[in-house]
Amino acid sequence: MDYVLAILIGIAVFGFIGILVCEYMLHKNNKVRNFRKQLIEDIDKAAAEDIDNGRDWRWRFDEFDKVSYNEMMSLRNIFKSPESFYPDRSFTK
């Protein structure tokens, strides 16, 4: 009977850890989504100014596309903040 209790406790502990990991990933997903949304808005404003001034604007979106959403959410980058993927944000200005 002791081994049944140990198994149930193990299942409960791993279940709780699984719930915490899911909550963290949901939180990170929200942070990445909001960060990328803000970047796109900033790039759009800067690109509109480039178009008005007759300059090339496509390079801004090319810089943005160098890092994918999936790369930002991958498990090997689980503790990296979204800001660390774009240390130089000159393409948004």
- The domain of 78 spans 2-92
For 67, left (φ over 0), alpha (ψ -120 to 50), or beta?
beta
pTM above 0.85, yes or no: no
Residue 78 has pLDDT above 70, yes or no: yes
Give pLDDT tens digits for 9-56: 999 999 999 999 999 999 999 999 999 999 999 999 999 998 988 888
64 vs 1, more confident: 64
Domains identified in the chain, total number: 1
